[in-house]
Amino acid sequence: MMPEQLTIALSKGRIFDETLPLLAAAGITPAEDPEHSRKLIIGTNRPNVRLVIVRATDVPTYVQYGAADFGIAGKDVLTEHGGDGLYQPLDLQIAQCRMMVAVRQGFDYEQASRPGRRLRVATKYPDIAAAHFAAKGVHVDIIKLYGSMELAPLVGLSDAIVDLVSTGGTLKANRLEAVEHIADISSRLVVNQAALKTKYEWIEPIIQAFARAVSGEA
Ligand code: ADP
Ligand code: MG
């Protein structure tokens, strides 16, 4: 007997766009584009499959509590969240970027991160940043931000930022430069552990279809 409904948590923008081909490979087509709809619950061509559109940082929470059966979230978000109660079967290799430390062009980062100094770091990722600098033995004050990290060093809020970089265009436009690479980031499939058991016949073929699409098999 098939369970009544399958709910998939996605965020708008990059992740949604890059997930569309994967969904298509699993035979799922959204009924609407969340970019042009105010609806937070979006139906699909499959009667009992729906998408919920949530903030990228909230995807693990919806899946963890079973409000969504599975979702797609960046490694950045998963690392910061901790990944508790989530099964992470697959790196989807979408929304690829790098977690970097960046400073104002010409800023003496070497000097500022020497023993005895305290580096002020603004970031949306306080746990990732704290772990990175602790491992290097650099003392930091972390300033939590929710967006536009690039502004912080320009107005003296911080010495450095920890942020995601893909092309480097935003850094360049703001006269910042990357000085350290912390991690390679991509988006992962995250599955609610209970749902994986109770809705196995639904979820397993979707995971397989995603895996084939990621590896380039038809
Ligand atoms: P928000 O604006 O809600 O913070 P974003 O759309 O900026 O979310 O980012 C959502 C996810 O997309 C991030 O968690 C990350 O995994 C990925 N991402 C963010 N910035 C980039 C980038 N420059 N290139 C590729 N992927 C990115
Ligand atoms: Mg953003």
Tens of pLDDT along 80-128? 999 888 999 999 999 999 999 999 999 999 999 998 999 999 999 999 9
- For residue 213, the CA-to-ligand 1 centroid distance in Å is 22
As separate numbers, helices (DSSP H) first and strands (DSSP E) second, the chain gives 9, 11
Q: Name the residue among 76, 179, 170 with its Cα closest to residue 133.
A: 179
pLDDT at 217 (0 to 100)? 82
Q: Give the pairing of strands 6-10 and 70-74.
A: parallel
Task: Please say whether the beta carbons of 182 and 74 come within 8 A.
Answer: no
Query: DSSP class of residue 44?
Result: B
pLDDT at 113 (0 to 100)? 95
Spatial separation of the C-alpha atoms in residues 190 and 205, rounded to whole Å? 15
- For residue 147, the CA-to-ligand 2 centroid distance in Å is 7
φ/ψ of 32, rounded to 5, equals: -145, 160
pLDDT at 3 (0 to 100)? 60
In DSSP notation, 110-121 reads HHHTSTT-EEEE
More confident residue, 4 or 145: 145
- Give, using CA atoms, the residue closest to atom 17 of ligand 1: 95
Q: Name the residue among 29, 48, 37, 31 with its Cα closest to residue 12.
A: 37
User: Which SS3 state, helix, strand or coil, does residue 78 take?
Assistant: helix
Q: Name the residue among 61, 74, 59, 84 with its Cα closest to residue 186.
A: 74
- For residue 159, the CA-to-ligand 2 centroid distance in Å is 21
Q: Which two tokens stand for residue 43?
A: 């139906």
Sequence-distant (6+) residues with CB within 8 A of 154 are 104, 174, 175, 176
Rounded to two decimals, the pTM is: 0.94
For a substitution probing ligand 1, which of 35, 162, 185, 187 has the most ligand atoms within 8 Å of its CB?
185
pLDDT at 46 (0 to 100)? 96
pLDDT digits (tens, 9 = 90+) for 153-177: 999 999 999 999 999 999 999 999 9
Q: CB under 6 Å to ligand 1: residues?
A: 11, 13-15, 55-56, 74, 76-77, 95-97, 164, 166, 185, 187
ipTM: 0.96
How many C-beta atoms lie closer than 10 Å to residue 120's C-beta?
A: 17
Spatial separation of the C-alpha atoms in residues 148 and 164, rounded to whole Å? 11
